[in-house]
């Protein structure tokens, strides 16, 4: 326990989604990402106290329902460390977590006059304007990130240059089981279309129609928004969830899936076989009906991907076995 007088007060804002999956991808058994994240938060509290800073409030942002470990276990561990879980759906585009964290950071400036320090547990360069706004309001900002994921631009915009390497917050056991990132990442996977066969079910044809209607303008369809749209358009059908529909279409050669490298997550894309008879028929029918592609609701996701630097930031969280 620190004997340093606690004369300052801090709010800690954690991009828990990124933290959890970074640890998941790099920790070897028996180390566990949820337990290691909890240890890091406790060690961060101890480090702050050694500087005379009290952790007054904290928030962790993630799609907790999608984490591999039991949601109650993760949330309970966060509560015990004084961190409030904040649910952010992972099916939305990547800026959702960034935006919510930024809103809460600026809200602290407006409503928490006693909080003189803000700890941002993330290294994305997108937070540079937030850092500048916090500092303009007289708050001290401390950045916490794994060194390989810290944007130099972000640190340059932190007036104090106050940075904590997140690796130092890991327990000795976790550091022993932390492997190099390149050793843990699977290579990109390219595939070939299966032999073209008749699409087995009417619902599979409807799924192809949804793909063409909403994503026909794209050469590669990102899997997360596609699964969401299939669910919205087709509803709940016994024995035909969106993933099984994609599986049917793969088997009959109408589509194929490929894995792409991303940071911090790899992701999956779907490619439509434009020569498949059913695909050709659907395209012709849509053209005859005068139907134009309606992908406007995904423009932000795809425009971000077009200019995306896979070496720095997250795109979509798509687990490899999602399909």
**pLDDT at position 109 over 60:** yes
For residues 39 and 149, membership in a common domain is answered with yes
Q: Given pLDDT bands bounded at 50, 70 and 90, which one contains residue 266?
A: low
For residues 273 and 315, membership in a common domain is answered with yes
Mean pLDDT of the chain: 81
Cross-strand bridge partners of residue 259: 189, 268
The range of the structural domain enclosing residue 51 comes to 8-183
12-26, 53-67, 90-104: segment of lowest average pLDDT = 90-104
For residues 226 and 172, membership in a common domain is answered with no
**pTM score:** 0.60
Q: Given pLDDT bands bounded at 50, 70 and 90, which one contains residue 127?
A: confident
Domain-terminating residue out of 126, 154, 183: 183
For residues 138 and 224, membership in a common domain is answered with no
Instruction: Decide if 61 contacts 15 (C-beta within 8 A).
Output: yes
Bond prior to 217 in cis (omega within 30° of 0): no
In a domain, 3, yes or no: no
- Top pLDDT among 115 and 156 is at 115
For residues 128 and 231, membership in a common domain is answered with no
Cβ-Cβ contacts under 8 Å for 300 (sequence gap 6 or more)? 93, 95
On the 0-12 / 13-18 / 19+ scale of CB atoms within 10 A, 138 is exposed
Distance (Å, whole) CA 21 – CA 316: 12
In a domain, 305, yes or no: yes
**pLDDT at position 317 over 50:** no
Domain-terminating residue out of 151, 183, 215: 183
For residues 151 and 269, membership in a common domain is answered with no
Cross-strand bridge partners of residue 88: none
Q: How far from each other are the two terminal CA atoms of the chain, in whole angstroms?
A: 48
Q: Given strand 267-272, what is the order of strands in its sheet?
A: 221-222, 267-272, 255-260
For residues 142 and 21, membership in a common domain is answered with yes
Listed ranges 114-123, 159-168, 306-315; the one with the highest mean pLDDT: 114-123
Looking up residue 278, the CATH number of its domain turns out to be 1.10.10.10
Number of domains comprising the chain: 2
Mean pLDDT of the 135-153 span: 87
**pLDDT at position 306 over 70:** no
19-33, 145-159, 179-193: segment of lowest average pLDDT = 179-193
In a domain, 311, yes or no: yes
Mean pLDDT of the 116-135 span: 90
pLDDT tens-digit profile of 205-262?
999 999 999 998 888 998 888 888 898 898 877 667 888 899 999 999 999 998 886 6
For residues 58 and 161, membership in a common domain is answered with yes
For residues 238 and 110, membership in a common domain is answered with no
pLDDT tens-digit profile of 162-189?
889 999 999 998 999 888 765 545 556 6
For residues 165 and 207, membership in a common domain is answered with no
Cβ-Cβ contacts under 8 Å for 110 (sequence gap 6 or more)? none
Mean pLDDT of the 15-29 span: 86
pLDDT tens-digit profile of 285-302?
988 888 765 544 444 444
* Greatest extent of the chain over all pairs of C-alpha atoms, in Å: 77
In a domain, 188, yes or no: no
> Of 118, 115, 32, 121, which Cα lies nearest the Cα of 77?
32
């Amino acid at each position: 326990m620190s004997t340093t007088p606690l004369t300052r007060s801090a709010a800690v804002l954690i991009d828990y989604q990124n933290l959890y999956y970074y640890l998941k991808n790099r920790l070897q058994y028996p180390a566990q990402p949820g337990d290691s994240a909890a240890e890091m938060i406790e060690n961060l509290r101890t480090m702050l106290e050694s500087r005379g800073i009290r952790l007054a409030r904290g928030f962790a942002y993630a799609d907790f329902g999608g984490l591999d470990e039991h949601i109650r276990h993760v949330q309970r561990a966060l509560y015990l460390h004084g961190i409030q879980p904040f649910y952010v759906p992972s099916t939305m585009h990547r800026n959702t977590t960034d935006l919510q964290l930024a809103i809460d950071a600026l809200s602290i400036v407006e409503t928490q006059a006693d909080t003189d320090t803000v700890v941002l547990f993330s290294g994305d360069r997108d937070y540079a304007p937030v850092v500048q706004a916090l500092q303009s309001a007289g708050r001290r900002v401390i950045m916490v990130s794994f060194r390989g994921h810290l944007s130099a631009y972000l640190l340059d915009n932190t007036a104090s240059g106050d940075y904590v390497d997140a690796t130092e917050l890991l327990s000795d056991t976790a550091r022993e089981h932390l492997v190099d990132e390149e050793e843990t990442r699977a290579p990109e996977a390219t595939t070939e279309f299966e032999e073209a066969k008749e699409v087995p079910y009417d619902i599979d044809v409807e799924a192809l129609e949804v793909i063409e209607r909403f994503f026909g303008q794209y050469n590669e369809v990102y899997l997360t928004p596609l699964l969401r749209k299939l669910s919205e358009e087709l509803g709940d059908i016994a024995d035909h969830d969106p993933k099984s529909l994609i599986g049917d279409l793969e088997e009959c050669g109408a589509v194929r899936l490929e894995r792409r490298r991303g940071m911090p997550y790899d992701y999956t894309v779907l490619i439509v076989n434009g020569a498949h008879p059913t695909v050709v028929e659907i395209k012709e029918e849509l053209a005859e009906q005068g139907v134009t592609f309606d992908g406007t609701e995904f423009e932000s996701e795809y425009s971000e991907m077009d200019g995306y630097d896979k070496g720095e930031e997250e795109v979509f969280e798509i687990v490899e076995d999602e399909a």
